[in-house]
Amino acid sequence: MEILDPQLQAYLDTHCDPEPEALREINRETYLKQLKPNMLSGHYQGRLLSMLSKIVQPKLILEVGAFTGYATICLAEGLAEGGKVHTIEVNREQEETLRKNYQLAGVDDRIELHIGDAQQIIFAIPENNFDLSFIDADKKSNLTYFELIINKTKPGGLIIIDNVLWKGKVYGEAKDVDTQLFRKLNDQIAVNTQVEKLILPVRDGVLVIRKK
């Protein structure tokens, strides 16, 4: 998942804020008990999500793809008073873990967990004024999620999409289906005049998009 030199990443990890205790525990438990623990955002990316959220001070956050809740908690750190996170997870088996982790981090009262198909749930959520969204779910649907969410995002709001460098394959010669989908996503957003955009080389690539 990491595209940066390991020595550089280690240096970055030691020169950002420390991982909060609850997140450290969730990180450890995820690597002990989950089949694909590398799906976790992790310390450095988590601090990036927290920082962006604190800059925006969102009243309303949407997350597509919760996994074990690590990123949800990082995003919730920046919520304005009375703010809320809508988070969507397709895997019902994760529900108990998610609720436990949100309670451990003390943010369960600010998070509304939805279990099921993200496209249907995004349509069903009544709010249309998201300040911040994070897309980290099934990769084939990233562009669809973006197109659904951009219309429910406030001017000045952020949409963050994970894994957009796809292990470095997007700028190489790879021609597999997933890589082609990420190239299409990146290329279409690059020419989208509704938004400002910037890819950060964090972990597997983080695309930060600001609605004009």
39: CB partners within 8 A, 6+ apart: 67
Domain membership flag for residue 131: yes
CATH code for the domain of 163: 3.40.50.150
Cα dihedral sign, 133-136-137-142:
positive
Total domains, the chain: 1
Place of tokens 């695309």: 207
162: CB partners within 8 A, 6+ apart: 41, 45, 134, 135, 136, 203, 204, 205, 206, 207
Residue 195 pLDDT more than 90? yes
Domain membership flag for residue 1: no
Helix/strand number for the chain, H first, E second? 8, 7
Residue 125 pLDDT more than 80? yes
Percentage of the chain lying above the pLDDT 70 cut: 100
pLDDT at 3: 80
Q: Per residue, what are the HEC states of 12-24?
A: HHHCCCCCCHHHH
**What pTM was computed for the model?**
0.96
Condensed to tens digits (0 to 9), the pLDDT of residues 42-55 reads 999 999 999 999 99
pLDDT at 1: 63
113 confidence band (pLDDT: 50, 70, 90): very high
Domain membership flag for residue 190: yes
Q: Give the three-state DSSP class for 201.
A: coil
8-35 mean pLDDT: 96
Domain hosting residue 173, numbered range: 6-211
Domain membership flag for residue 139: yes
Condensed to tens digits (0 to 9), the pLDDT of residues 155-185 reads 999 999 999 999 999 998 999 999 999 999 9
pLDDT at 4: 85
Domain membership flag for residue 62: yes
Tell me which residue of 106, 105, 60, 102 sits closest to 83, measured CA to CA.
60
